[in-house]
Structure 1
Amino acid sequence: MALHRDIFWVGRQWAVTAAGIQAVDQRLRGVLDIEIARLWDDDLVQSRRAKPGVNAADFDKALTMARERFPQAPEANPFVAQLEALGVIEAPVAAPVLPLMKLRAEGRLARFMPQWRIRR
């Protein structure tokens, strides 16, 4: 995969972009890239770091830069989730309000309308 157009940091082998951590060498075709959602998955990070040919110092610098830029989302408390499921705590329901579409034909039908042409 090509590097994302928003590049925040570039090292010798790794780059921190808006897509996450990406290998600068495009011959790898995105095999070693780590998306933003998986930056905090330590098993995945260690497996990428252990690959042969990976510059560990550059990878660690890219990982710290990416984790500073994209902080980990706080996990939901399972106890609160259970209370919401039981109805003890009312969870706010965000229902999207869609505008009503009004389809109407004013005047005559289009197939009976005279066609207009540009005359030279």
Structure 2
Amino acid sequence: MEVIPERGEIWWVALDPALGSEIRKTRPCVVMSVKVLNERRRTVIVVPLSSSPKASPPILIPISCDGRPAVAVSDQIRAVAKERLRSRLGVVTMDEMAALEDGLRQIMQLG
């Protein structure tokens, strides 16, 4: 059965192998692509989370992950194969998603 993640869900994602300065390891990621796209494609667009750095919008957006503080590393947004998805961890709040969307708009100059 194929996994169909939904926008705003947090999933464990195996990001290795990584190259250069790409974020690595298996870590939580926020799904940014919409469900209809996730149903039709073999990839999902995600933003990785980290527990290390302090929040620094628009690049590092504060997110609660499994009850612990984390940051969404918005400049590491990427498409990943669904085979990299390990398990669903939770979902971001509406406010967290709005902050993440705003951060992405700023770093990509999307109006």
Q: TM-score, normalised by structure 1?
A: 0.28
| Structure richer in helix, relative to its length | 1
Larger RCO, structure (CA 8 Å, separation 6 or more): 2
The structure with the larger Rg is 1
